[in-house]
Amino acid sequence: MKQLLVTLIVFALTAAAQKFEYWPGAQYDAAIPTVEKTLGYAAGTKHATHLDIVKYFEALAAAAPGRMKVFEYGRTWEGRKLIYAVIASEVNMRRLGEIKAAQVKYADPRRTPAAEAKKAVAGMPAILAMSYGVHGNEISSPDAAMMTAYHLLASKGDAMIEGVLKNVVVLIDPLQNPDGRERFIYNFRVNEGLEPDAHPLAAERAEPWPGGRSNHYLFDMNRDWHVMTQPETVGRVRYLREWLPLVHVDLHEMGSNSTYFFTPGSLPYNPHLTQDQKEQMAWFGQNDAKWFDKFGWPYFTREVFDEFYPGYGASWPWFYGGMGMTYENASVRGLVVRRSDETLYTFEESVKKHFVASVATCETAMKYREKLLDSFYRYQATAIEEGQKEAVKEYILPRRGDTGAVDKLAHILAEHTIEVQQAKAAFKNGGKEYPAGSYTVLLAQPRKRFIRSLLDAQVSMEPDFVKEQERRRKKKLQAEIYDVTGWALPLVFNVECVGAAEASQGSFEAVTGPYVPKGAVSGKAEVAYVVPWGTQAAGRFLTSGLRANLKVLSANKAFTQGGRKYPSGTLILMVKQNPAEVHERVAKAAASSGAEVVAANSSWVEEGINFGSNHVITVKKPGVAMLWDTPASSISAGQTRFVLERQFGYPVTVLRVPSLPTADLSKFQVLIMPDAGAMGGTGYGNAIAAPAVERLRTWVRNGGVLIGIGSAVQFLSSAAVGMLAMQAEGLAREGAKPAEAAKPAAGAAAPAGPAAPAPGKILAKQEDFEKAVQADAELPDAVAGVLVKAKVDPETWVTAGLPETVNVLVDGRNIYSPMKRDRGVNAIVYAGAEELVQSGYLWEENRKQLAFKPFVAVQNEGRGAVVAFTADPNFRAYMDGLNVVFLNAVFRFPGAAVRGGMEE
């Protein structure tokens, strides 16, 4: 039987290779090279590597230079080239520069009056962008990109394709995530056998940790568009903003047993989408459906993949006036897979579906060219009108507090072509004073809706959608909220954002280009250099100084010198205690970090501790290790490593979890345990045996700092480990008492035979039924991602330099009981229920139960300490407002002199 199945699979693949047609009846120009002629294999019979894809696109451009050009837009972390192709008629290709400039001008009604815009439409093509393979293990779309480019260039006698080339400029990004795709292909090839294996559990498709979905630093880049932390995202945003496509499609894959998804997307819709944009979804969905019907393929729409979060590749375009779409294809994750209905699904078939959807999208863009252009212009004009009429006319970002974070936020906005101005001098607005360097963002501009989506504290979901989620939750059905519900950038950066009723007056200049830190030293110090703590820039200075082998001190308490108050954590570099090159090294660290460095010519302070106080500690250059591999969440591990290595320039040694029982931990002073994701604390419990736990405990007692993130806290606080005196809570029910099981009478034998019937109850009303079906004990409901306020205890080493409150992104269902004062300190605690939620939607029960529970707790163990982050401070590497507390945990442990966070 097994041999028969193998024979059938081989026959099916062989037959398909002989007669497979991507577009039945198509006639192609022999002068345009096929995939097989260029790469040595037919499209869909092998997974094209990154080098193959680049080679093929360059071959197409060489064969048809008058209709296709290839542009490089960046490099991945692993150095792979990122490209996109432009395909159009020869006439349009000759005027690409003119087309780009006209599109940008058309996008601004202040430069293009309505009458002029109406005339311009006749000569403007629709610009369509299609992006493939942002998730490296979603394998069909890059191969479909090759077929789409070939079909557009090689088709002969096809009136539809001729019309597309004449009326549409097509941008194709064939592979957004080369690093992840190469990981997938490597795993597939090293596990290949005699023939492709259709079994769903075959090793060739069962990817080892971390899988191919993410990029080198294990980021899901389809969540990164609004904050642009990754170089791949930065490159994409920059080339797309030059073109401002009317339509952008992001092509993905889902489970093998699914069909195909295309637009319209599901609720919730971001409230800043226009009615025009919502209606456009149906144009594309209906045309996709027409072609899928012709091929006899099932599909679905509207059920999932929302249009709410602005960080998706398919949502970012909405906010400059275009439209975004997600296409999701059933994945083979190999060359053939047996589905649950026993049918075989081949890689060629999956490639063909994305290819047909791509061609159908080109046709729709051609058909609705004028309407898409009209809608695009109307979006810009109405955005300006709304900005003029609404109560908030301007947002102000005061340049105070963590000024580097303010600068970074302003430049992120500018990178999205949002108009941002920086004040050359102090100014007033609404009776308030703002310092020089502050930023203003006028709402009466084309990007008004993007400004609101990024800066508003609350972007709400539709009330009916929320009501439906509450109904589903009550019945223990899975919520349909796809991603985080709170993302306001001022909150995640923990900086001020003030809405003003009028535009600011004064001297301002436009903000342009990427954020580049600008630090300075106030002079050449005779005694010491002082760096105020509490900012990203100071954190970068610390890591730079340590790596430059400078001796860095840190004050555990505040002090005042020269009339200025310095916060706890402030860095002090004594000139005589450092190398002769200290002045040059400090200047270099200041310039690269953006830190403010004050030259002190005296050690005298007017108030607070002196530089020689016992409350001033030496910051040692720690060896930092982090657990890597299963059961750690690859996302949590990747973003933690990225924050330390790429945002703060400090290397991390990653240790595979299985090495923990034998690893020499004495080489490290800090060990980080990332969140375990869906595995929870049991994931670590199953992977780390008791002897390894004892080695960890001994290492901490000897002076190590163990940092647990997310569900790692559940492992460290479990009874079997006992390194944190806190406990994950079940769902709290108001007025409920612990249930007691019925106990048999003393000496009574266990009853024989069937169980006795339950005592009879009368359920007189619906409420009685609801109580009767309620579980005796359950966990809090999972949260999709909400920004909440937390209050800081300033008298702990781990909170040095922090403001009174910080904002934390809470997701999942873990809520922990506070630590008793005799066991440790609750360094940062969530605010009370009434002031807790800052952005997003939080279930009412979670809101009440999360109040006054710990976000950061510290427990000393011997000469070391265990630090618990009950939520991930490095979430997607955009929680900049939590950078300092995480750096404190890594670098500032002062040793055994500190108990429970307070100095003895």
For 416-453, what is each residue's pLDDT tens digit?
A: 999 999 999 999 999 999 999 999 999 999 999 999 99
403-415 vs 536-547: helix axis angle to the nearest 10?
110
Looking at residues 59-74, what average pLDDT do you find? 98
Q: Which residue has the tokens 């050009």?
A: 69
Residue 349 burial (CB count, 10 A):
18
C-alpha 677 chain-centroid distance: 15
Residue 747 burial (CB count, 10 A):
5
Kind plus residue range of the DSSP H or E element containing 151: helix 140-154
CA angle at 229 for the pair 244 and 713, rounded to the nearest 5°: 140
> Peptide bond preceding 142: is omega within 30 degrees of 0, i.e. cis?
no
Alpha-carbon distances of 326 from 104, 126, 250, 735, rounded to whole Å = 25, 19, 5, 46
- Per residue in 138-173, pLDDT tens? 999 999 999 999 999 999 999 999 999 999 999 999
> Residue 775: which pLDDT band, with cuts at 50, 70 and 90?
confident
* 159: exposed, middle or buried (Cβ count in 10 Å: 0-12, 13-18, 19+): exposed
Q: Is 700 helix (H, G, I), strand (E, B) or coil?
A: helix
> Residue 735: which pLDDT band, with cuts at 50, 70 and 90?
low
Q: Which two tokens stand for residue 219?
A: 């980021």
Residue 612 burial (CB count, 10 A):
10
**Smallest Cα–Cα separation from 537: which of 404, 352, 662, 443?**
404
Q: Which residue has the tokens 């909170």?
A: 799
Kind plus residue range of the DSSP H or E element containing 345: strand 344-346
Residue 698 burial (CB count, 10 A):
14
DSSP labels, 820-873: PTTT-EEEEEEPPGGG-EEES---HHHHHHHTT-EEEEEEEETTEEEEEESS-T
Q: Quick check: 785 pLDDT over 90?
A: yes
Q: Which two tokens stand for residue 618?
A: 């030496």
Average pLDDT, the chain: 94
Can you tell me the distance from the alpha carbon of 352 to that of 21, in angstroms, rounded to the nearest whole number? 9
Pairing status of strand 898-899 against strand 902-903: antiparallel
Can you tell me the distance from the alpha carbon of 858 to that of 865, in angstroms, rounded to the nearest whole number? 7
- Per residue in 537-579, pLDDT tens? 999 999 999 999 999 999 999 999 999 999 999 999 999 999 9
Q: Would you state the pLDDT for residue 754?
A: 63
Q: Would you state the pLDDT for residue 9?
A: 47
- Per residue in 744-765, pLDDT tens? 344 444 445 566 788 899 999 9
- Per residue in 387-423, pLDDT tens? 999 999 999 999 999 999 999 999 999 999 999 999 9
Q: Is 797 helix (H, G, I), strand (E, B) or coil?
A: helix
Can you tell me the distance from the alpha carbon of 553 to that of 611, in angstroms, rounded to the nearest whole number? 9
DSSP 8-state class, residue 748: P
* Phi, psi (deg, nearest 5) at residue 584: -70, -40
Residue 28 burial (CB count, 10 A):
15
Looking at residues 494-502, what average pLDDT do you find? 98
**Smallest Cα–Cα separation from 683: which of 634, 638, 624, 732?**
634
Can you tell me the distance from the alpha carbon of 571 to that of 534, in angstroms, rounded to the nearest whole number? 10
Q: 738 Cβ partners below 8 Å, 6+ apart?
A: none
Residue 711 burial (CB count, 10 A):
30
**Smallest Cα–Cα separation from 624: which of 674, 675, 671?**
671
Looking at residues 591-606, what average pLDDT do you find? 97
Please compute, for residue 609, the number of CA atoms within 13 A of its CA located in the half-sphere on the CB side. Answer: 19
Q: Would you state the pLDDT for residue 566?
A: 98
Can you tell me the distance from the alpha carbon of 329 to that of 714, in angstroms, rounded to the nearest whole number? 37
**Smallest Cα–Cα separation from 466: which of 844, 769, 850?**
844
Q: Which residue has the tokens 């109560």?
A: 391
Q: Would you state the pLDDT for residue 746?
A: 44
> Peptide bond preceding 622: is omega within 30 degrees of 0, i.e. cis?
no
* Phi, psi (deg, nearest 5) at residue 401: 75, -130
Q: Which two tokens stand for residue 37?
A: 């002629």
Can you tell me the distance from the alpha carbon of 256 to that of 598, in angstroms, rounded to the nearest whole number? 60
Q: Are 480 and 472 in contact (CB under 8 A)?
A: yes
Can you tell me the distance from the alpha carbon of 228 to that of 310, in angstroms, rounded to the nearest whole number? 12
Q: Is 114 helix (H, G, I), strand (E, B) or coil?
A: helix
φ/ψ region of 598 (left if φ > 0, alpha if ψ in -120 to 50, else beta) reads: beta
Please compute, for residue 861, the number of CA atoms within 13 A of its CA located in the half-sphere on the CB side. Answer: 23
Q: Which two tokens stand for residue 473?
A: 């939750």
Can you tell me the distance from the alpha carbon of 143 to that of 348, in angstroms, rounded to the nearest whole number? 9
Q: Would you state the pLDDT for residue 681?
A: 81
Kind plus residue range of the DSSP H or E element containing 406: helix 403-415
**Smallest Cα–Cα separation from 393: which of 319, 487, 486, 498?**
498
Q: Quick check: 7 pLDDT over 50?
A: no
Can you tell me the distance from the alpha carbon of 580 to that of 544, in angstroms, rounded to the nearest whole number? 17
* Phi, psi (deg, nearest 5) at residue 624: -110, 125
417-427 core/surface letters (b: 16 or more CB in 10 A; e: else): bbbbbbbeeeb
- Per residue in 851-896, pLDDT tens? 999 999 999 999 999 999 999 999 999 999 999 999 999 999 987 4
96-106 vs 231-243: helix axis angle to the nearest 10?
90
* 67: exposed, middle or buried (Cβ count in 10 Å: 0-12, 13-18, 19+): buried
Q: Would you state the pLDDT for residue 770?
A: 85
Q: Which residue has the tokens 């999956």?
A: 350
Q: Which two tokens stand for residue 724?
A: 């944190």
Q: Per DSSP, what are the bridge partners of residue 251?
A: 132, 327
What's the length of the chain?
904
- What is the residue type of 711? S
Q: Are 457 and 488 in contact (CB under 8 A)?
A: yes
Q: Which two tokens stand for residue 821?
A: 């004062």
Termini Cα distance of the chain: 75
Q: Are 616 and 555 in contact (CB under 8 A)?
A: yes
**Smallest Cα–Cα separation from 249: which of 265, 266, 234, 233?**
265
Can you tell me the distance from the alpha carbon of 561 to that of 571, in angstroms, rounded to the nearest whole number? 13
Helix then strand then coil, % of the chain, to nearest 5: 35, 20, 45
Kind plus residue range of the DSSP H or E element containing 98: helix 96-106
Give the rounded percent of residues in the chain with a pLDDT score beyond 70.
95
Q: Are 227 and 151 in contact (CB under 8 A)?
A: no
Q: Which two tokens stand for residue 858?
A: 């510290």
Looking at residues 92-121, what average pLDDT do you find? 97
| E-only strand ranges, 286-431 | 306-307, 323-330, 336-338, 344-346, 394-397, 421-423, 427-429
- Per residue in 192-241, pLDDT tens? 999 999 999 999 999 999 999 999 999 999 999 999 999 999 999 999 99
Tell how many helices (H) and how many strands (E) occur in the chain. 26, 39
> Residue 736: which pLDDT band, with cuts at 50, 70 and 90?
low
CA pseudo-torsion sign 542, 544, 546, 549: negative
Q: Quick check: 654 pLDDT over 50?
A: yes
Give the rounded percent of residues in the chain with a pLDDT score beyond 90.
91
Q: Quick check: 904 pLDDT over 80?
A: no
